Amino acid sequence: MKANASIQLYNRYKNNESALEVARQKLVERKQLPSPSRLCGYQYENVCLAGHFLQKCTCGKPVIAE
């Protein structure tokens, strides 16, 4: 669960624990969409999009984490 979603849930339901738990469970059960990089196979128009995923890198340049 993303931090901003967690904060929004808390702010909305901070006075109602049972509603907070129901909303939290719904959020956890939602299917996450894959990232745009992943949808493109980490490469778009011959540009490497794997800046943080060395195993999918196609350009051979250093990754962001280095």
- pLDDT of the residue at 63: 61
Structure tokens belonging to residue 12: 């909305």
- Do residues 50 and 58 lie in contact, with contact meaning Cβ atoms separated by under 8 Å? yes
- pLDDT of the residue at 56: 86
- pLDDT of the residue at 45: 92
Among candidates 27, 49, 31, which has minimal Cα distance to 39?
Answer: 49
What pTM, to 2 d.p., does this model score? 0.48
- For 10-64, write each residue's pLDDT tens digit: 898 889 989 888 888 888 888 788 888 889 999 999 888 887 788 888 888 766 6
Residue spans of beta strands (DSSP E) within the chain? 43-44, 47-48
